[in-house]
Amino acid sequence: MDRTEIRKSEKAFLVGVLHGNQTAEIVKEHLSELKQLAETAGAIVVGQITQNLRKINPQYFIGKGKARQIIEQAKTLNVELIIFDDELNPGQVKNFLQLAKNIKIIDRNGLILDIFRKHAQTREAKTQVELAQLEYMLPRLTRQWSHLERQMGGIGTRAGMGEAQIEVDRRLIRQRISKLKKELTHIEQERQTQSKRRKDEYRVALVGYTNAGKSTLMRALSGEDVFIQDQLFATLDTTIRKVQLDQYHSILLSDTVGFIRKLPHDLVASFRSTLLEVFEANLILIVLDAASDQVSEHMNTIEEVLKEFGIKRHKALTVLNKIDLISENKRMNFLKRKYPDAIMVSAKDQLRLDRLIAEMIETMNADYKTVEITFSYEQGKELAKAQENVEVLERHYQNDSIRLKIKGKRDRVNQIINQYQ
């Protein structure tokens, strides 16, 4: 087991750094979120510190004197783990470990990866997380890790004469990374096949900052049980439910992994296939926690991640969730000014969901097309095909033909027109 894994009830000390264009308030917010992450991983946060820096120290990220001070403070508190809110490079981790001796050192990325590993349930999520962890681990490999042969199922290698164990471990990791990438390619192909089967359905994807209430909103809309837990990254796997909005409109609603600021790049790359549902969605619902003081920053993070994946949000609705937690008119007025087109709801108390459903139906109707099309009685096979994945509004039987009035997704209706007219 590697020494970056966080054990339950392990005492942790947090380190934040004020540098660049950051303000003290932003760093305070980031440390608050880091505390939530640490607690989600099972750690008990017993202290924290913020360091002002003009420039990053290449050896320890912070100054060596400050590093020694933090370690001494951590030892006084019987801390087993020091967590940095910023990413440390492999050299900085190694140097800090030499000072810290028996105290583990990880950064925000390592912490998030540990949470993802613990929460992964399906084969896809487990594969994605393991790949991200190994790519993160490879440049940071030091003696803090035990030999990997036992951990990695005895991948068939043995140390050659004079070959250092650390080189064997690096080789094992590279082999495992290669295998995992092949597995993910296969999983992505399976997902794309499943996606093609649903191409004629109207697809809506929930995206949002972690713990914004996406899963609660899915349960409120679908009426089905969805795993819900009040912690960061409770949902890693994509959940899809068919939702009947009214008598004539149904959608496939998907709930994907939550976003967070400073999301590890390796993790973003590994979860690309999971976000395929967002990429192919007809409509994106951006879910924000209206009660959070960081709602604007959360929106910025969501937009950055969508941009990184090349996901265009030309058809998106902003949903301000958790309005049941807002008691001040001042806060509500601020949100209305900031997001004038947003739909305010409480998924938990099922407040104003009718407005959200009405907005979705209106957006769907803009994506749909209604046409009349005529078939001769000899075109029985074509007539049957033309009625697939559309809604038949009217049928008129004439002397030598049948006239249909159909409504469907614009692409599907255009396909029918091009094929049969």
| Range 366-371 average pLDDT | 86
Angle at 159 between CA 157 and CA 160, to 5 degrees: 110
User: What is the C-alpha to C-alpha distance for residues 268 and 275, in angstroms, rounded to an integer?
Assistant: 10
Does the pLDDT at position 12 exceed 90? yes
Tell me the pTM. 0.72
Closest by Cα among 250, 315, 308, 323 to 285: 315
Strand, helix or coil at 417? Answer: helix
User: What is the C-alpha to C-alpha distance for residues 321 and 336, in angstroms, rounded to an integer?
Assistant: 13
Question: Per the structure block, which two tokens stand in for 411?
Answer: 């692409």
Report CA 290 to chain centroid distance, whole Å: 19
| Range 58-62 average pLDDT | 91
For 233-271, give the DSSP string. Answer: T---S-EEEEEE-SSS-EEEEEE-PPB-TT--HHHHHHT
User: What is the C-alpha to C-alpha distance for residues 53 and 61, in angstroms, rounded to an integer?
Assistant: 9
What does the mean pLDDT of the chain come to?
Answer: 82
Contact indicator for 84, 62 with CB cutoff of 8 Å: no
What pLDDT sits at residue 161?
A: 36
* Predicted confidence (pLDDT) per residue in 17-42, tens digit: 998 888 888 888 889 889 988 988 88
User: What is the C-alpha to C-alpha distance for residues 338 and 340, in angstroms, rounded to an integer?
Assistant: 6
Angle at 174 between CA 170 and CA 176, to 5 degrees: 115
Range with the lowest mean pLDDT among 71-75, 227-231, 413-417? 227-231
Question: Per the structure block, which two tokens stand in for 77?
Answer: 């508190």
Top-ranked range on mean pLDDT: pick from 158-172, 229-243, 272-286? 272-286
Within 13 Å, how many C-alpha atoms sit on residue 227's CB side?
Answer: 14
In angstroms, the Cα distances linking 102 to 82, 96, 98 are: 11, 11, 9
- Which pLDDT band, with edges at 50, 70 and 90, does 118 fall under? confident
User: What is the C-alpha to C-alpha distance for residues 303 and 209, in angstroms, rounded to an integer?
Assistant: 10
State the Cα torsion 112-118-121-122 to the nearest 10°: 60
| Range 193-206 average pLDDT | 74
Name beta bridge partners: 240: 254
Closest by Cα among 184, 231, 41 to 118: 41
Listed in order, strand segments (DSSP E) in 312-351 are 316-321, 343-344
In angstroms, the Cα distances linking 183 to 132, 147, 360 are: 13, 24, 36
Angle at 31 between CA 135 and CA 98, to 5 degrees: 55
What pLDDT sits at residue 26?
A: 84
In angstroms, the Cα distances linking 29 to 36, 50, 81, 88 are: 11, 12, 21, 20
What pLDDT sits at residue 197?
A: 60
* Predicted confidence (pLDDT) per residue in 271-287, tens digit: 666 677 788 888 999 99
User: Percent of the chain beyond pLDDT 90?
Assistant: 31
Does the pLDDT at position 45 exceed 90? yes
In angstroms, the Cα distances linking 154 to 130, 168, 176, 179, 305 are: 16, 12, 11, 14, 37
User: What is the C-alpha to C-alpha distance for residues 85 and 112, in angstroms, rounded to an integer?
Assistant: 11
- Which pLDDT band, with edges at 50, 70 and 90, does 189 fall under? confident
- Which pLDDT band, with edges at 50, 70 and 90, does 4 fall under? low
Question: Per the structure block, which two tokens stand in for 310?
Answer: 């090349």
Does the pLDDT at position 264 exceed 80? no
Strand, helix or coil at 146? Answer: coil
What pLDDT sits at residue 236?
A: 54
Other residues' Cβ atoms within 10 Å of the Cβ of residue 234: 17
Q: Give 167 or 224, the one with higher predicted confidence.
A: 167
| Range 197-222 average pLDDT | 85
Range with the lowest mean pLDDT among 46-55, 224-233, 336-345, 411-420? 224-233
Contact indicator for 17, 62 with CB cutoff of 8 Å: yes
- Which pLDDT band, with edges at 50, 70 and 90, does 109 fall under? confident
Does the pLDDT at position 213 exceed 50? yes
* Predicted confidence (pLDDT) per residue in 338-364, tens digit: 999 999 999 999 999 999 999 999 998
Range with the lowest mean pLDDT among 118-122, 125-129, 226-230, 335-339? 226-230
Contact indicator for 236, 257 with CB cutoff of 8 Å: yes
